[in-house]
Amino acid sequence: MSTDKIYVFDTTLRDGEQVPGCQLNTIEKIEVALALEELGVDIIEAGFPISSPGDFKSVVEICKAVTRPTICALTRSRREDIECAAQALQYANVGRIHTGIGSSDIHIINKLRTTREQVLEQAAWATKFARNLVGDVEFFCEDAGRADLSFLAKMVETVIANGATVVNIPDTTGYCLPDEYGKRIKYLFDNVPNIDKAIISVHCHNDLGMATANTVAGLKNGARQMEVTVNGIGERAGNTSLEEVAMVLKSHSATLNLHTDINIKKIYPTSRLITRLMRMPVQPNKAIVGRNAFAHSSGIHQDGMLKNRENYEIINPHDVGIPESLIVLTARSGRAALNYRLEKIGLKLSKEELNEVYIKFLELADQRKEIYDEDLLEMMGLSNEGKFYEVESVKVECGDGGSHAIVKLKKNGEIKIGESKGNGPVDATIKAVKSIVGQLCHLEEFLVQAVTGGSDDLGKVHIQVSNKGAFYYGFGADTDIVIATAKAYVDAINKL
CB 307 within 8 A of CB 295: no
- Of 137 and 441, nearer to Zn ion (C-beta) is 137
Residue 177 is classified by DSSP as: -
Q: Answer with the entry of ligand KIV, Zn ion, none that 168 interacts with (C-beta below 5 to 8 A by kind).
A: ligand KIV
By DSSP bridging, strand 7-10 and strand 43-47 are parallel
Least distance to ligand KIV from the beta carbon of 225, Å? 12
Least distance to ligand KIV from the beta carbon of 13, Å? 13
Torsion, Cα 138 139 143 146, to 10 degrees, reads -110
Q: Answer with the entry of Zn ion, ligand KIV, none that 206 interacts with (C-beta below 5 to 8 A by kind).
A: none
Q: Answer with the entry of ligand KIV, Zn ion, none that 45 interacts with (C-beta below 5 to 8 A by kind).
A: none
Query: Can you list the alpha helix ranges (DSSP code H) found in 236-384?
Result: 242-251, 253-256, 267-278, 299-307, 335-344, 351-368, 373-379
- Of 15 and 55, nearer to Zn ion (C-beta) is 15
Cβ-proximal residue to Zn ion, closest one: 15
- Of 103 and 333, nearer to ligand KIV (C-beta) is 103
Tell me if 55 contacts ligand KIV by CB under 6 A.
no
Sign of CA dihedral 214, 141, 259, 270: negative
Question: If phi over 0 gives left and psi between -120 and 50 gives alpha, with beta otherwise, what is residue 259?
Answer: beta
Ranges of beta strands (E only) in 400-493 are 402-411, 414-422, 442-450, 459-467, 470-478
User: Which residues are paired to 397 by β-bridges?
Assistant: 404
- Of 159 and 357, nearer to ligand KIV (C-beta) is 159
Tell me if 17 contacts Zn ion by CB under 5 A.
no
CB 229 within 8 A of CB 14: no
- Of 58 and 240, nearer to Zn ion (C-beta) is 240
* Measured distance CA(396)–CA(406) in Å, rounded: 6
Least distance to ligand KIV from the beta carbon of 236, Å? 10
User: Which residues are paired to 476 by β-bridges?
Assistant: 461
Q: Which residues 3-32 are close enough to bind ligand KIV by CB under 6 A?
A: 15
* Measured distance CA(395)–CA(270) in Å, rounded: 36
Tell me if 225 contacts ligand KIV by CB under 6 A.
no
- Of 16 and 474, nearer to Zn ion (C-beta) is 16
* Measured distance CA(340)–CA(345) in Å, rounded: 9
Query: What separation in angstroms does the CA of 34 have from each of 67, 68, 270?
Result: 9, 10, 10
Q: Answer with the entry of ligand KIV, Zn ion, none that 142 interacts with (C-beta below 5 to 8 A by kind).
A: ligand KIV
Tell me if 15 contacts Zn ion by CB under 5 A.
yes
Tell me if 140 contacts ligand KIV by CB under 6 A.
yes
The span of 19-27, 165-173, 249-257, 311-319 binding ligand KIV (CB under 6 A) equals: 165-173
Amino acid (one-letter) located at 455: S
Tell me if 55 contacts Zn ion by CB under 5 A.
no
* Measured distance CA(353)–CA(363) in Å, rounded: 16
- Of 48 and 446, nearer to ligand KIV (C-beta) is 48
* Mask for 183-222, x = binds ligand KIV (CB under 6 A): --------------------x-x-----------------
Q: Answer with the entry of ligand KIV, Zn ion, none that 61 interacts with (C-beta below 5 to 8 A by kind).
A: none
Number of residues that bind ligand KIV (CB under 6 A): 8
Q: Which of 103, 168, 214, 333 is close enough to bind ligand KIV by CB under 6 A?
A: 168
Tell me if 96 contacts ligand KIV by CB under 6 A.
no
Interface ranges with ligand KIV (CB under 6 A): 15, 140, 142, 168, 170, 172, 203, 205
